[in-house]
Structures are given as C-alpha cells and as structure tokens.
C-alpha cells in the first residue's frame, strides 16, 4: 500500500501548518474530490510536526491509478491470505491464498455475512471499533492451521466502510519453533548429564609436587589468565584443564576441546572460527559454528598446541589480542569471551628456537605454566590412582575386584611410559579379564621396564622352533610392542592391529594363561 510518506518531499522547516495530512495516510483512501491539483499539502507525523509536503497533483494521479488498476489480480498473486468485509460485515473480497490457507473454497464464503459464518471473528471487532488489531498466533480450528494476522479498518468519509485481514500460515514455522525448543531441551539435558559426569571428575594424587600443581591450578582458575599445561602423554593435562574450568566462574558455560594435532591443516581455521552459509563451494547449509563460538563464555582447551600450523598460530594470536574472531563469509568480526587453556607434550622453547612456533604466541599462552610430572616421578600416586580406577571399573562392569598385594607391588615397579592413561587402561582390562575377586599379577597387562626394550628394539632374533609356536611368539611380540606404543590403550592397539577389542582381550588372556613371561616381571 502506498503511503504519503513514500512520495512527499522532505527537509522542510519544522513549523506545523494547517490542512496537513498524516504521513501514514494510505493513498488509496484519498478520494479525488478531496484533493486540489495545485495545492501543496503539508505532511505531518503523529506528533503533529511537519515532516514534508506533497503536491495535490501527485496525490490525484496516484489515487486514480490505484483505483484503475485491477488490484484483485495483484493481491491474488501474494502468498499471504487477504479477506475484506464491507461495512455490514459481508465478505466482499478474498484472494486465492485465503482459500488455500483456510481450505475453504471461495464460493462458500464470498458474499456471505461474517456474523453468520464466524460471529466471534476478530475482523468484526475491527469493523465495529475502527481499531486495527493483530494476532501473532491464531489457530484456525477447522483446518488445524496456525496463522499470524493483522487486521485494519477501511475508512471512507470519516466512517468505517469495511475491514480487511492479512494473514500468513505459520504452521510450519511453529512446528520448526517447537522442534528447536525440543532440541534445545535435549541439548540442555545432555549438557547437565555431562556436567554431572564432569563434576564427579576428580584429580587423584598425593605427591607433594602434584599437590602444589593442583593448588596452582585452582588459584589460576579464579582468574581469566591463559594457562599452558606441559607434560608427557597421558599425565593428566586435559584433567588439569577440566579442573581449572570446573573451579572457575565459567563452570556453567561449555568447555570445548580442540585437538590441534588431529585436525588437518586445511580445516583448522573453519573448525576454530566456523563459516557462514554459502561462504565457499561445499559450505554446509546454515553455516558452521566454530569452536570459539561454541565455547562462548566458557573455556577453550587447545590440546597439542605445538602441532598448530604457523599460519593458524598468527590467527590465534590476533584473536587473543583483539578478543574477536573473523568468521569466513561474514563482514563484521564476532566478539568472543573465551578463556584459553593450552597443552602440549612438545618442548615449545625448542620449537620457538626452530621458528616452528611463534615466540609472541608462546609468551601469550605461557602466562601461567603447569608442568605435570610423569607418573614414574610420583610413584606415591600409583596405588591411589589404581584403586580409584578399580572402583570406577568395578562399578561399570558390575564387579567387586580388589588389588592383591602382589599386583599392587607390580604396579609400583612399572615405569608407566604411557603414564596415568596406561594405568587406567591396565586396570580396566584387568577388571574385565579377572576371574576371581582379587586382581593378581596375571590379570595385569603391562610391560616391565626391560621387556619393551628387548622387544621393540628391533634387534631381537627371529624365534626358533615349530612354526605354530614361532607364529604365536611373533604375535605375542607384535601385540606387546603395539600395546607399548599405544601406552597400554587396548582400544587403540586393537585398531592398529586391525582386530576387534574383544579379540585382543582374548589373545591377551590366552597369553596370560600360557605366557607368564609376558605379564610378570
């Protein structure tokens, strides 16, 4: 609908003048007899201030043209439903969309009195009061469809001459809205379950160095300072990151982990910063949220930071300095409020010297540094950790196993090249495999400090004897060295050997029966 607003001239002085027309007046409401061609009409806003002026000639032209045009045809092509009633409430116009949305054919309604069809219709109220009305969500019961509608009176010569309603089918939108609500609730539920698991998470350790680290971590957690956690694989770097997040004010927001070594160089930018829909060929519909956005308000844990490509290091540095991310396909930057914790098992200082790691990023990350010692340097922690894992896996597998004195002794003697992760895996497989109530040395799958060197050194002579025995021996060696390489992680070892976890366990238990040499010192 064309309003005066659209054709007036602007930038005139602000003095209100008589004979003014409201800027929102519809052109189609102006009758030819009311307008003089050569008069300049003042246009005012709702406060009565003059905001423009318009020539009567322009108004006449437009109002006449609108009348001459067959508006019905145009209105028929629009997607929204339109229905018009005259002053008596008789339906005098409907467009095609009206019938399509309501499912009522035009012949059943056109010309009929709305008072009879639907005496409570809101449109009749608009007709009676002369006041526009709107409903965001209205159910048309007969067809079970939801519409959003706006209704207006039609004024002629100072009286209401009719009313019309424009409405839109929002059934699909409503369904999608509900789906979003449902998915959000599921996500909230899962998050709270995760939170519960997260808050049960404990860092076990009584070694004095380890306890000092815990205190430092909890103290750092109260600030937003960046933390760099160092240490061998499996020492508990991610555990420290979780602990810091849990002890911080950000604990009710997400902690998102990114393993920088596991993402191909070409994908790391879109993983971290995301992209907008259509920003490149093959971009996902709806775009993609980057990890920074997912961690908004929370913590982003950048694991294996030493493996981050140099170009990405520069981009990360910029984000840390500016607190904003540049998202592919989006013009304006997005502010992010994310606490960064990074971890690495690499000597970052050496990487800096070799120009493989940016010095400025190194200093930016290394505000608080936590160096987690390997398990072999804190032997006091071995038994408490073993008992903690034992309790966890007893619960998971419905067992009641306890650690025998000999098994405990064996655990204390091991060097744990795979650190706490290896110990955890060792206890898990022992709980699964043990037949009785006590975990004995034979239940433990672990390497003695000497054995791996003999096996994985590559120099061991080929086994002698019958083929079957030699094959078994070779298999034993292969399993042993693979397990060693995988830090005792049975699942990973099974994957590398391309056999199922169950087969690996079976082979391990065969070995326990037949080859004491493999499991005991």
Q: Applying CB under 6 A, which of residues 205, 287, 306, 452 lies at the interface with ligand ATP?
A: 205
Q: Is 220 a binder of ligand ATP (CB under 6 A)?
A: no
* CB 340 to ligand ATP: min, Å: 16
Q: Is 239 a binder of ligand ATP (CB under 6 A)?
A: yes
* CB 312 to ligand ATP: min, Å: 19
Cα–Cα distance, 122 to 131 (Å, whole number): 11
Cα–Cα distance, 117 to 94 (Å, whole number): 15
- The arrangement of strands across the sheet holding 227-230 comes to 255-259, 299-303, 339-344, 227-230, 368-371
Phi, psi of 279 (to 5 degrees): -75, -15
Which residue number, 339 or 476, has a Cβ lying nearer to ligand ATP? Answer: 339
Show contacts with ligand ATP in window 352-411 (CB under 6 A): 385
Nearest to 343 by CA among 324, 373, 369: 369
* CB 423 to ligand ATP: min, Å: 8
Which residue number, 206 or 514, has a Cβ lying nearer to ligand ATP? Answer: 206
Which residues are within 8 A (CB) of 214 and not within 5 positions of it... i.e. 6 or more apart?
A: 203, 205, 243
The single-letter DSSP state of residue 416 is -
* CB 502 to ligand ATP: min, Å: 21
| Tokens encoding 118 | 């639907």
Dihedral sign for Cα 395, 398, 400, 406, please.
Answer: negative
- Residues touching ligand ATP, count (CB under 6 A): 17
Choices 136-144, 200-208, 322-330, 498-506; region in contact with ligand ATP by CB under 6 A: 200-208
Phi, psi of 107 (to 5 degrees): -60, -20
* CB 446 to ligand ATP: min, Å: 15
11-15 contacts at long range (C-beta below 8 A, 24 or more positions apart): 12/50, 12/52, 12/53, 13/50, 14/49, 14/50, 15/50
Q: Is 345 a binder of ligand ATP (CB under 6 A)?
A: yes
Choices 71-79, 155-163, 198-206, 249-257; region in contact with ligand ATP by CB under 6 A: 198-206
Residue in the shown chain whose Cβ atom is closest to ligand ATP: 236
Cα–Cα distance, 277 to 284 (Å, whole number): 6
Q: Applying CB under 6 A, which of residues 238, 271, 307, 489 lies at the interface with ligand ATP?
A: 238
Q: Is 203 a binder of ligand ATP (CB under 6 A)?
A: yes
Choices 126-134, 202-210, 216-224, 434-442; region in contact with ligand ATP by CB under 6 A: 202-210
Nearest to 497 by CA among 475, 473, 469, 519: 475
Nearest to 422 by CA among 392, 389, 398, 454: 389
Q: Is 234 a binder of ligand ATP (CB under 6 A)?
A: yes
Choices 48-56, 232-240, 285-293, 492-500; region in contact with ligand ATP by CB under 6 A: 232-240
Q: Is 307 a binder of ligand ATP (CB under 6 A)?
A: no
Which residues are within 8 A (CB) of 205 and not within 5 positions of it... i.e. 6 or more apart?
A: 211, 214, 378, 381, 384, 385
Evaluate whether 328 touches 303 at the Cβ level (below 8 Å).
no
* CB 326 to ligand ATP: min, Å: 28
* CB 100 to ligand ATP: min, Å: 59
Q: Applying CB under 6 A, which of residues 245, 339, 358, 421 lies at the interface with ligand ATP?
A: 421
Evaluate whether 113 touches 88 at the Cβ level (below 8 Å).
yes
Q: Applying CB under 6 A, which of residues 237, 250, 480, 511 lies at the interface with ligand ATP?
A: 237
Show contacts with ligand ATP in window 85-114 (CB under 6 A): none
- What is the per-residue binding string for ligand ATP in 264-303, x denoting contact by CB under 6 A? ---------------------------------------x
Tell me which residues touch ligand ATP (CB under 6 A): 203-205, 231, 233-239, 303, 345, 385, 420-421, 424
């Amino acid at each position: 609908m064309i309003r005066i607003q659209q054709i007036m001239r602007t930038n005139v002085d602000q003095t209100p003048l008589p004979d003014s027309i409201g800027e929102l007046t519809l052109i189609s409401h102006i009758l030819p007899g009311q307008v003089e061609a050569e008069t300049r009409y003042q246009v005012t806003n709702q406060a009565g201030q003059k905001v423009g002026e318009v020539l009567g000639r322009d108004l006449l032209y437009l109002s006449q043209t609108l009348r001459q045009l067959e508006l019905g045809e145009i209105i028929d092509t629009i997607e929204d439903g339109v229905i018009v009633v005259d002053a008596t409430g008789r339906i005098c116009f409907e467009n095609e969309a009206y019938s399509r949305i309501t499912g009522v054919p035009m012949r059943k309604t056109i010309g009929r009195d709305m008072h009879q069809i639907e005496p409570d219709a809101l449109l009749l109220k608009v007709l009676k009061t002369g006041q526009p009305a709107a409903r965001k969500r209205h159910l048309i019961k007969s067809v079970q469809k939801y519409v959003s509608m706006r209704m207006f009176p039609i004024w002629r010569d100072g009286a209401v001459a009719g009313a019309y309603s424009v409405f839109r089918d929002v059934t699909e939108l409503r369904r999608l809205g509900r789906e979003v609500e449902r998915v959000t609730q599921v996500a909230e539920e899962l998050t709270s379950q995760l939170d519960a698991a997260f808050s049960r998470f404990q860092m076990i350790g009584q070694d004095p160095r380890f306890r000092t680290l815990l205190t430092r971590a909890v103290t750092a957690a109260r600030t937003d300072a960046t933390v760099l956690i160092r240490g061998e694989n499996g020492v508990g770097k991610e555990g420290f990151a979780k602990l810091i997040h849990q002890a911080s004010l950000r604990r009710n927001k997400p902690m998102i982990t990114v393993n920088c070594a596991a993402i191909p160089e070409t994908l790391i930018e879109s993983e971290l910063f995301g992209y907008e829909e259509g920003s490149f060929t093959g971009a996902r519909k709806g775009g993609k949220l980057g990890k920074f956005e997912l961690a908004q308000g929370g913590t982003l844990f950048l694991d294996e930071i030493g493996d981050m490509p140099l170009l990405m290091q520069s981009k990360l540095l910029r984000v840390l300095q500016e607190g904003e991310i540049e998202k592919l396909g989006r013009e304006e930057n997005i502010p992010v409020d994310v606490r960064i914790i990074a971890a690495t098992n690499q000597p970052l200082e050496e990487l800096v010297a070799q120009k493989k790691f940016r010095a400025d990023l190194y200093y930016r990350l290394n505000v608080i540094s936590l160096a987690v010692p390997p398990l072999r340097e804190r032997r006091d922690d071995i038994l408490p950790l073993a008992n903690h894992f034992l309790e966890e896996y007893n619960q998971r597998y419905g067992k009641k196993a306890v650690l025998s004195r000999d098994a405990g002794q064996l655990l204390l003697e091991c060097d744990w090249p795979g650190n706490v992760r290896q110990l955890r895996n060792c206890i898990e497989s022992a709980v699964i495999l043990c037949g009785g109530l006590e975990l004995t040395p034979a239940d433990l799958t672990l390497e003695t400090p000497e054995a791996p060197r003999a096996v994985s050194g590559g120099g061991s002579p080929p086994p002698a004897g019958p083929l079957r025995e030699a094959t078994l021996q070779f298999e034993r060696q292969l399993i042993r060295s693979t397990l060693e390489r995988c830090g005792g992680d049975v699942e990973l070892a099974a994957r590398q050997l391309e056999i199922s976890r169950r087969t690996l366990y079976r082979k391990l238990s065969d070995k326990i029966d037949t080859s004491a040499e493999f499991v005991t010192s």
